[in-house]
Structure 1
Amino acid sequence: MLHRRSLLALSVSAALAASALAIAPSARAAEPAPFSAAAFTAAKAKGGPILVEVTAPWCPTCRAQKPILSELRAMPKFKDMTVLTVDFDSQKDALRALDARTQSTLIVFKGDREVGRSVGVTERGAIEALLAKSL
């Protein structure tokens, strides 16, 4: 026979596990993936919001954008956003296709249509407003 304290501990453990499972899918939903023509085509065909990040490991502006973008991707309103990252140094074909000329470029799409772009922006409110254009 279980004691009241054991039942309470089991109930609390079950509730914590359930809440962790409820949170986990939304956190994974907008994780960045490397840009490829196939991934970009599939994302556009899906018709949802898309963020393309042009980034470089040596770029201080890109480093400033990363925690802001991570925080915003965790928000429920951006949970269905597809995020693709373009490496500025090695993906020159993608840069040409996107007409992106510099690192720290953020491009948002609503389905197959570009709806906004920014270069070098590190202000959270401006980045959030840009991402919201894709919803």
Structure 2
Amino acid sequence: MPSLKLLKTAVIAIAASLFLSLSAHANSFEKIPFDKTTFDQLQAKDETFLVDIYATWCPTCKKQQQVLNDYFNAHPNSKIKVLVVDFDEQKEWVKYFKAPRQSSLYLYKGKEQVWFSVAETREQKIFSALNSVSM
């Protein structure tokens, strides 16, 4: 029968592993704060990027973040950048993108907008859009 000390050590190791796994999952992609210079540079370099109109208080935005985390965990070599527009603090950019509300996503390949959604949280739809420009 294993000793109590051995069981405690095993439980601590499992808990630490789970914590590290969840921490990595929570931050699996870089969110770049939106600014015009970065936006212009990504377009000029013909990069693929997602503009995420996000609000911290928005439950739909949080669900989208979970789906994006899942995508980037499943595609760790993806070159897609994510620019985040703060819905409450960057109203000029919310207007620029004509975002009807927070939780609007705009996918670009260079200067071409290739996909747009409002409040989309279905993994299949978001994965499909991101995969369409990654392949």
TM-score (norm 2): 0.73
CA gap of 1:63–1:49, structure 2 versus 1, over 3 A, is: same
**In 2, Cα distance between the equivalents of 1:114 and 1:78?**
22
Structure 2 counterparts to residues 20-35 of structure 1, below 5 A = 30-35=29-34
1:75-122 alpha-carbon deviations (Å, 9 max, x no partner):
437621111001111101111211112101111001111011011111
Aligned residues: 109
Indicate whether 1:112 and 2:111 are aligned: yes
Secondary structure of the residue aligned to 1:114 is: strand
Q: CA RMSD in A?
A: 2.0
Alpha-carbon offset, residue 65 of structure 1:
1.0
Partner of 2:47: 48
1:108 and 1:133 in contact (8 A); partners too: no
1:72 and 1:78 in contact (8 A); partners too: no
Runs of 4+ aligned residues of structure 1 deviating over 6 Å after TM superposition are: none
Amino acid at match of 1:100: A
CA gap of 1:60–1:105, structure 2 versus 1, over 3 A, is: same
Amino acid at match of 1:87: D
Structure 2 counterparts to residues 38-77 of structure 1, below 5 A = 38-76=37-75
**In 2, Cα distance between the equivalents of 1:106 and 1:47?**
18
CA gap of 1:88–1:45, structure 2 versus 1, over 3 A, is: same
**In 2, Cα distance between the equivalents of 1:94 and 1:133?**
25
**In 2, Cα distance between the equivalents of 1:49 and 1:75?**
18
CA gap of 1:126–1:78, structure 2 versus 1, over 3 A, is: farther
Partner of 1:103: 102
1:6-47 alpha-carbon deviations (Å, 9 max, x no partner):
xxxxxxxxxxxxxxxxxxxxx97x511000001101111121
TM-score (norm 1): 0.73
Amino acid at match of 2:85: V
Q: Give unmatched runs, 5+ long, in structure 2.
A: 1-26
